[in-house]
């Protein structure tokens, strides 16, 4: 399938008719013998992903042609030379979610969902990031983000599975939604209201913008303003949350902020101070 809008934004875009997992394809290709053929911002995408993965071995499923699996290779080169400090790596998946939230809101606005609200909708509250790796529309999951390091930390692959045209009957879990459903568009949306290329190009443009800001500031999320952008799109902040840590340890509290490394700060309900949660530590976050 052609994707001219997206193709114009990146040095390499491989549209696969089918893939087990686009993340696995890109990690293997960009970390293998042919690594030099996969520069920074190479993309592998399919609308038929058969073995989509979430975190911790969970599965991501969608009928062929209804969603996109988009994997983007980042090989960060900082303004100062060198690569992203490990302390900044936690921001990468958050950039994916923040970019996707904006792209989804753009499409919803274009589809006229919030007719009359105009540009304010673009950064508005309909699609938000559920820290650390989901994008929700009105509380239902439209996208999951999964980031994976290349061997030897030679790069990071940011994978996003996003539901475009699933109908209510096609949703794999009741907590899911699709852009077409949220926009109130029925079957046939793929040929009329928006295309996968519309969504992907909006996502890539925003991801590239955020990523370049972060690398230009040598990974300093606060200094670059990236921390504030991500926080402004994060629906978790200000919410009461229940965090499941490994070993079935549960903590409850109020999500108050993101720290300098993109970790979630939770003010414990029992008054025993702040809990700082990194994406790798949390198995479940509910609110």
Q: Which of residues 36-55 bind ligand ATP (CB under 6 A)?
A: 54-55
- Alpha carbon distance 114, 164 (integer Å): 18
- The answer to whether 134 contacts ligand ATP (rule: CB under 6 A) is yes
- Alpha carbon distance 148, 25 (integer Å): 12
Out of 11, 18, 28, 58, the only residue in the binding site for ligand ATP (CB under 6 A) is: 58
- The answer to whether 12 contacts ligand ATP (rule: CB under 6 A) is no
Q: Which of residues 18-37 bind ligand ATP (CB under 6 A)?
A: none
- H-type alpha helices, 13-117: 22-30, 91-110
Six token digits for residue 23: 């993340």
- The answer to whether 65 contacts ligand ATP (rule: CB under 6 A) is no
Write the CB contacts of 36 (distance below 8 Å, at least 6 apart in sequence).
none
Nearer to ligand ATP, 163 or 201 (CB): 163
Helix (H) or strand (E) holding 226: helix 226-232
- The answer to whether 163 contacts ligand ATP (rule: CB under 6 A) is yes
Q: Whole-number minimum distance, CB 134 to ligand ATP, in Å?
A: 5
- The answer to whether 225 contacts ligand ATP (rule: CB under 6 A) is no
- The answer to whether 170 contacts ligand ATP (rule: CB under 6 A) is no
- The answer to whether 173 contacts ligand ATP (rule: CB under 6 A) is yes
Question: Whose structure tokens read 């976050």?
Answer: 285
CA distances from 169 to 164, 180, 187 (A): 14, 13, 11
- Alpha carbon distance 206, 229 (integer Å): 11
Contact range with ligand ATP by CB under 6 A, out of 2-10, 22-30, 56-64, 239-247 = 56-64
Question: Given the rule CB under 6 A, which residues bind ligand ATP?
Answer: 54-55, 58, 60-62, 67, 133-134, 141, 144, 163, 172-173, 176, 284
């Amino acid at each position: 399938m052609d994707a001219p809008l997206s193709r114009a934004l990146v040095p390499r875009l491989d549209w696969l008719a089918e893939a087990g997992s686009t993340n696995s394809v890109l990690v293997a290709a960009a970390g293998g013998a042919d690594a030099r053929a996969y520069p920074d911002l190479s993309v592998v995408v399919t609308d038929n992903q058969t073995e989509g993965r979430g975190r911790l071995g969970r599965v991501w499923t969608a009928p062929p042609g209804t969603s996109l699996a988009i994997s983007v290779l980042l090989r960060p080169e900082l303004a100062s030379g060198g690569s992203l400090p490990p302390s900044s790596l936690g921001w990468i998946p958050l950039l994916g979610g923040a970019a996707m939230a904006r792209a989804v809101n753009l499409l919803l606005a274009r589809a006229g969902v919030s007719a009359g609200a105009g540009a304010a909708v673009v950064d508005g509250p309909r699609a938000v990031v559920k820290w650390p790796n989901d994008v929700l529309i009105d509380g239902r999951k439209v996208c999951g983000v999964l980031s994976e390091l290349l061997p030897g930390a030679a790069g990071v692959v940011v994978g996003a599975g996003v539901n475009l045209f699933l109908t209510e009957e096609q949703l794999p879990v009741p907590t899911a939604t699709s852009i077409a459903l949220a926009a109130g568009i029925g079957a046939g949306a793929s040929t009329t209201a928006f295309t996968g290329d519309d969504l992907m190009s909006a996502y890539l443009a925003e991801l590239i913008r955020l990523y370049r800001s972060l690398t230009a500031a040598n990974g300093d999320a606060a200094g670059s303003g990236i921390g504030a952008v991500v926080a402004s799109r994060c629906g978790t902040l200000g919410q009461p949350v229940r965090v499941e840590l490994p070993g079935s340890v549960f903590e409850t509290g109020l999500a108050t902020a993101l720290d300098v490394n993109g970790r979630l700060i939770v003010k414990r309900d029992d008054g025993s101070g702040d809990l700082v949660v990194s994406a790798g530590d949390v198995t479940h976050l509910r609110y």
